[in-house]
Chains A and B, each alone.
Chain A
Amino acid sequence: MPAPPPNQSRQAHRTSRLVNIGIPYLWLGLFFLLPFVIVLQISVAEPALAQPPYTALWQWIDEGLLRIEINLRNFMLVGQDDLYLSALLNSLQVAFICTLLCLLLGYPMAYAIATAPERWRIILLMLIVLPFWTSFLIRVYAWIGILKSNGLLNDLLIWSGLIDTPLAILHTNTAIYIGVVYSYLPFMILPLYANLTRLDLSLLEAAADLGCRPMRAFLRVTLPLSMAGIVAGSMLVFIPVVGEFVIPDLLGGPGSLMIGKLLWTEFFSNKDWPLASALAILLLALLVVPFVMMQRLQQRMEGSRP
């Protein structure tokens, strides 16, 4: 047994530990909690023709009289107007479908990379990450060129004789799906790959030895053991896609209103900061619940791993 450290060094130890734990909390407080409180405060204000364009939360009326105004009308409006609800539902639907598509496309890809020979893996991973080297915006713009009625895709389909008249893909939900799946697929593949490379292949051999055919072995062994990766990948896709603004704005049409675009409109076109803030708060609350649930699930899954 080493001798207990003298008081002084124990004090220093405690200080350094406090600093270590403190930094992330400070970071969260400064860049998450503080902005959140500001947004929360705006969400209960009223729009005003001023700079900034909303009323203050409190006001000194008289000597010793403080008036605090909490305006809940923004939240009520969001509940009353179908526009917001349908935009929200549309966002959730788009995010859900896109997450599912990413999973269906990404899982086989991640599996293929994880089981590829060692020297191929790094190259294949590079190919997955490579698009990030070009600006996200430019890549989404490029899809306009591909999807528009006289774009690459339609030209190709007409040239090959598969269709006579161009398909209307741009400015539909389909275009959003294509754009989102294209942009977010790496976020699904990377955590899945990280998970699948850890899979002990002797487990699959054991399953085969016990009379399990490859497909069943996948369902009974590989899939449950990669659940943590599936959950992580799905969260990384689902949560940002719900609030996605650029892709629906560039590729979507009037029929595909998403909450992110609505937020933007409220902020910058209508200059209604309080309403936009209320929307943002609601969106956050809506996403935190499934996030916490998934986190719980993931912890349980991780707990069962050696």
Chain B
Amino acid sequence: MATLAERRSLEPWQDPKAVPYLRIDRITKKFGDVYAVDDVSLEIFQGEFFSLLGSSGCGKSTLLRMLAGLEYPSSGRIYIDGVDVTDVPAYSRPVNMMFQSYALFPHMSVEQNIEFGLKQDRMSRRERGERVGEMLELLKITELRKRRPDQLSGGQRQRVALARSLAKHPKLLLLDEPLGALDKRLRENTQFELVNLQERLGITFVTVTHDQEEAMTMSTRIAVMDAGQIMQVDTPTAIYEFPTCRLVAEFIGSINLFEGKVVATEGDEVVVETRVGRPMRMRSFHPMVLGTPVTVAVRPEKMRLCADFREDGVNQLKGRVEDIAYLGDVSIYRIRVGDGALVEMTLTNVQPRTEQALTWEQEVAIEWSPTSGVVLTE
């Protein structure tokens, strides 16, 4: 068990005394009549790998660009290390950004690209050379240093862009879809590399991504955004296991949602009446008023086959297997239950496929425990 102090150094957001490195205070950005970012506040701590996650057009990139100084907010303030940088132009901010398109200078070699920012700082020639060498080595691109961007592959460009944005040793690095342009395999490898790099250098990373898997793998915390607003800020685990609203629940992974209303409360559990069958009994973190319209949300992998189905059993459903998607490691089963709703269940393929018990059109009973889902009120 980690002590409280250890836990707090790993999760500074849990510590009420911790001072955020980056503070976004009620930022709003309007383009004409459209709110691209709508009253967003965030506190991000030193050494975090923070992800802004959302579908395209949710305002995550605009927020990132405001942190870089490439856009100015319509209202609200941005503080970096306690200093109000809201009106500071991009070229004077102590942050660097890795662009989605990489934005490498096509008329300069890899070396010159990395050196570009250092030259602006009037660093001595010798120091610049050392720093460029350090960056080339860090990203293992030393042999590419004389090449021009058009002579590089996508993966190599990504590394050069990263090297260039790290060259000035920023304390805060902004990454706009850092892995977006890479193919799947390269992306997975680079994810781990990026996290290692971030931990080694101790830099605070703020990334923008639309890829939930990417955000889950890399981040210390994730902010899920929609329509310019932040829906939930939490650790990847909490976002996945305990979403606070339907939107977040549906955006991350797949989930079964059962609409209904609260008919009874017993201790920290609520009983919810839904359309699919008998009342469901779920744990709730908040006290609930009887009659409240709620949604019971259960992830497919939290479902299991039920050996002793009883007509009055808790959280049990009966149905017929309609679809099977075999993914190798797991299979996804779509089961048509009582009122015609489809319930998704994932089972690990412990046995080879040919020996699997479940097949199409089979009658099955499934169940889940009261602690393996959440009750959402919005």
Q: Which residues of A contact B (CB under 8 A)?
A: 200, 202-203, 205-214, 216, 220-221, 224-225, 304-306
B91 near A205 with CB under 8 A, answer no
CB of B290, distance to nearest CB on chain A (Å): 55
Cβ–Cβ contact B168 & A202, under 8 A: no
- In the bound complex, residues from chain B placing their C-beta under 8 Å from that of A203 are 103, 105-106
* Contacting pair B91 A213 (CB below 8 A): yes
- Of the candidates B89, B106, B116, B120, the one whose C-beta lies within 8 Å of that of A225 is B106
Q: How far is the CB of B375 from chain A (nearest CB, A)?
A: 45
B70, A212: Cβ atoms closer than 8 Å: no
Contacts of A208 in B (CB 8 A): 69-70, 89-91
Chain B: minimal CB distance from A101 (Å): 27
Kindly list chain A residues whose C-beta atoms are within 8 Å of the C-beta of B12. Answer: none
Q: Which 10 A-B pairs have the closest CB atoms?
A: A210-B117, A211-B120, A206-B103, A208-B90, A202-B103, A306-B150, A208-B91, A209-B97, A224-B107, A212-B120
Q: Does B75 contact A (CB under 8 A)?
A: no
0/1 string, B145-168, CB within 8 A of A gives 1: 000111000000000000011001
Query: Does A210 contact B116, Cβ atoms closer than 8 Å?
Result: yes
> In the complex the two chains form, is B120's CB within 8 Å of A206's CB?
no
A214 to B107 Cα, complex, angstroms? 18
The distance in angstroms between the C-alpha atoms of A213 and B90, with both chains bound, is 9
B74 adjacent to chain A (CB < 8 Å): no
**Across the interface, do B150 and A205 meet the contact criterion of CB distance under 8 Å?**
no
The minimal Cβ–Cβ distance linking B53 to chain A, given in whole angstroms, is: 22
Contact (Cβ within 8 A) A305 B70 = no
Query: CA–CA, A210 to B91, complex, Å?
Result: 6
A306/B106 contact (C-beta < 8 A), A202-B99, A213-B91 known: yes
- B: residues with CB less than 8 A from A are 68-70, 89-92, 95-97, 99, 101, 103-107, 116-117, 120-121, 148-150, 164-165, 168
Q: Can you report 24 A-B residue pairs in the complex whose CB atoms are below 8 A from each other?
A: A200-B101, A200-B103, A202-B99, A202-B103, A205-B70, A205-B90, A206-B99, A206-B104, A208-B70, A208-B90, A208-B91, A209-B68, A209-B90, A209-B95, A210-B91, A210-B117, A211-B91, A211-B120, A211-B168, A212-B120, A216-B120, A224-B107, A304-B106, A306-B150
Chain A proximity of B102: nearest CB distance (Å):
8
Q: How far is the CA of A304 from the CA of B70 in the complex (A)?
A: 27
Known A-B contacts A208-B89, A208-B90, A225-B107; A305 and B150 likewise in contact (beta carbons under 8 Å): yes
Given the known interface contacts A216-B120, A304-B148, A306-B149, the answer about A209 and B107 at a Cβ–Cβ threshold of 8 Å is no
Chain B residues near A207: list those with CB within 8 A. Answer: 105, 116
Q: Which residue of A211, A213, A214, A221 contacts B105 across the interface (Cβ within 8 Å)? A: A221
Minimum Cβ distance to chain B for residue A115 (Å): 16
Most central of A202, A209, A213, A221 by chain B CB within 10 Å:
A209
CA distance A221 to B116 in the complex (A): 11
Residues of the B chain whose Cβ atoms lie less than 8 Å from the Cβ of A221: 105
- For B104, list chain A residues within 8 Å (CB): 206
In whole angstroms, how far apart are the Cα atoms of A213 and B93 in the complex?
A: 12
Q: Cβ of B99: which chain A residues have Cβ within 8 Å of it?
A: 202, 205-206
A202 CA to B98 CA, complexed, in Å: 11
Flag if A304 contacts B90 (CB, 8 Å): no
Q: Which residues of A contact B106 (CB under 8 A)?
A: 203, 225, 304-306
With a cutoff of 8 Å between Cβ atoms, the chain B residues found around residue A211 in the complex are 91-92, 117, 120-121, 168
Q: How far is B165's CA from A207's CA once the two chains are assembled, in angstroms?
A: 11
For the complex with contacts A203-B106, A224-B107, A225-B107, 10 further pairs of A-B residues with Cβ separation under 8 Å are A203-B103, A205-B68, A206-B99, A208-B89, A208-B91, A211-B91, A211-B121, A212-B91, A212-B120, A304-B107
> Which residues does chain A contribute within 8 Å of B117, judged by CB atoms?
210-212
Please name the residue on chain A nearest to B112 by beta carbon.
A220
Instruction: Give B107 Cβ to nearest chain A Cβ, in Å.
Output: 5
Cβ 8 A contact of A205, one of B103, B107, B148, B168: B103
| Nearest residue, chain B, Cβ from A214 | B91
> With A and B bound together, what is the CA distance between A306 and B106 in angstroms?
7
- Shortest Cβ distance from residue A236 to the other chain B in the assembled complex, whole angstroms: 23
CA distance A207 to B113 in the complex (A): 10
CB distance from B37 to the nearest CB of A (A): 18
CA distance A216 to B120 in the complex (A): 9
By a CB distance below 8 angstroms, the chain A residues around B165 are 209
Q: Name the A residues within 8 Å of B69 (CB-CB).
A: 208-209
Judge whether B105 and A202 touch: CB under 8 Å. no
Q: What is the minimal beta-carbon distance from B365 to any residue of chain A, in angstroms?
A: 56
> In angstroms, how far is the closest chain A Cβ from the Cβ of B22?
16
* Closest partner residue, chain A, to B122 (CB atom): A211
- For the complex, give the distance between the alpha carbons of A1 and B22 in Å: 58
Q: Are A209 and B96 in contact (CB under 8 A)?
A: yes
Q: Which residues of B contact A306 (CB under 8 A)?
A: 106, 149-150
Q: Check B96–A210 contact: CB distance below 8 A.
A: yes
Kindly state the separation between the CA atoms of A261 and B116 in the bound complex, as whole angstroms. Answer: 51
In the bound complex, what is the Cα–Cα distance between A202 and B65 (angstroms)?
Answer: 12
Residue of B nearest to A227 (CB): B107
Q: Closest Cβ of chain B: how far from A202's Cβ, in Å?
A: 4
Please report the C-alpha to C-alpha distance between residue A210 and residue B104 in the assembled complex, in whole angstroms: 12
> What CA separation (Å) do A221 and B89 show in the bound complex?
18
Min distance, Cβ A201 to any Cβ of chain B, angstroms? 9
Q: Which of B90, B95, B104, B164 has the most chain A CB within a 10 Å cutoff?
A: B90
In the complex, what's the smallest C-beta–C-beta distance from B55 to chain A, in angstroms?
Answer: 22
How far, in angstroms, from A161 to B120 measured CA to CA in the complex? Answer: 49
Best-buried of A205, A213, A224 by chain B (most CB within 10 Å)? A205
* A contact residues around B68 at 8 Å (CB): 205, 209
Bound-complex Cα distance A202 to B68 (A): 13
CB of B149 within 8 A of CB of A206, answer no
